[in-house]
Amino acid sequence: MKITRVKTIVVNAEMRNWIFVKVETNQDGLYGWGEASLNWKTRAVTGCIEDLEPLLIGHDPRDIELILQVLNKHSYYRLGIIGATAISGIEHALWDIAGKSAGLPVWRLLGGKTRDYVPLYTHLGLGDMKSVYETFDPAPLRDNALRVIEQGYNALKVVFIPYSHYMVDRAARRRVEELMKTLRDAVGENIAIMVDFHGRPASISVALQYIEALAPFDPYFIEEPVQPGDPEAMRLITERAPCPVAAGERLIGYKEFEPLLQNRGVHILQPDLNHTGGLLEGKKIAAAAEEVMIGIAPHNPNGPIAGAAALHFAISTPNFVIQEEMSGAVPWYDDVVSAPMKREGSNWLIPDVVGFGVEINESEAAKHPFKPEVFHSRTAVLDDGTIVDW
């Protein structure tokens, strides 16, 4: 069995572009689907996959570890987030082929079942990105949260931390407290609420003051309280926070996670299997996290194939905690993709499929071509004109 072609299909899903990766083989009808979606970098990622294609041609697609070595080492320059996303999408497709050729679901190849269902959470707005990133008022926050609960979810994530700098005033702290109280009063005591800081605080002090305002309302975890890349700052916040702390969606590969593992800088790690190098890299990160009593809650606001990959990973990973998901984010979702994710309440069921169990209707996908994505980050400016982290 040999790889003969790698191609990408870009589908504009309103809130972002999905980048589907199709790896074809010399066996009739045997191909694999992966996903390499990366917001605001669609053309860079598709170009990277095109550049990497010659390194793949002629390889047996089931030699996944060998191919990853080729893609990472024969590219010479380290690839960063764009290259890691491209490789992740290719690697997903290789796992899909491996499962199909063996007649087994990918989760069987990753180690088999470790649970009977996969706990889920989704975003405020159910795919409406303005609701996710631009809801800073109590009334729409409450209304959007109730819509999520009405869909059967018992866990949701919100992003309402103010755009911040190195200090925070009392009014901003009280605003965060008011929003969290509104949310908790609306959904009740039994709904898990995750608060994504999006790395907005520019100092440990600001992050801790916001955490203190949130803590009385029992967040399930707070996420990315400061920008990635400073494991010591994460450790100091985690040691002082009165609630669980999560981070990791913007880290690439095991090496970037290793400092947080060594200093126990978080309670929950959030590798994005669409960006960190794929499923094998995710399994390495999860195994190392398990050794130091850290759970795994993979980041995934991406498309349906990324969701399928996350599902198979979660089934097979012992220290998995909860999965972020975005299924049904556009009205025509089921026209473009047939995916294995079947939700009951706030859980995915275990699929009995071959490979990932995903199929793309390429003619339907072509009806939603690439469009530039909305730059929500343009609002991340303070009153005095200072540019801050989005």
Which token pair is 129?
């990105």
CB burial string 150-179: b at 16+ within 10 A, e below? eeebbbbbbbbbbbbbeebeeebbebbbeb
Annotated catalytic residue, options 92, 123, 275, 299: 299
Amino acid in position 137: D
Centroid of chain to Cα 97: 23
Which token pair is 273?
């299997």
Residue closest to 70 by CA, chosen among 113, 127, 6, 146: 6
CB-based burial label for 67 (10 Å; 0-12, 13-18, 19+) = buried
Residues in the chain: 390
Q: What is the 3-state secondary structure (H, E, C) of 236-300?
A: HHHHHCCCCEEECCCCCHHHHHHHHHHCCCCCEECCCCCCCCCHHHHHHHHHHHHHCCCEECCCC
56 within 8 A of 3, measured Cβ to Cβ: yes
299 assigned to active site: yes
198 assigned to active site: yes
Annotated catalytic residue, options 92, 123, 198, 267: 198
Give the C-alpha separation, 120 to 109, whole Å.
23
**Which residues are catalytically annotated?**
198, 299
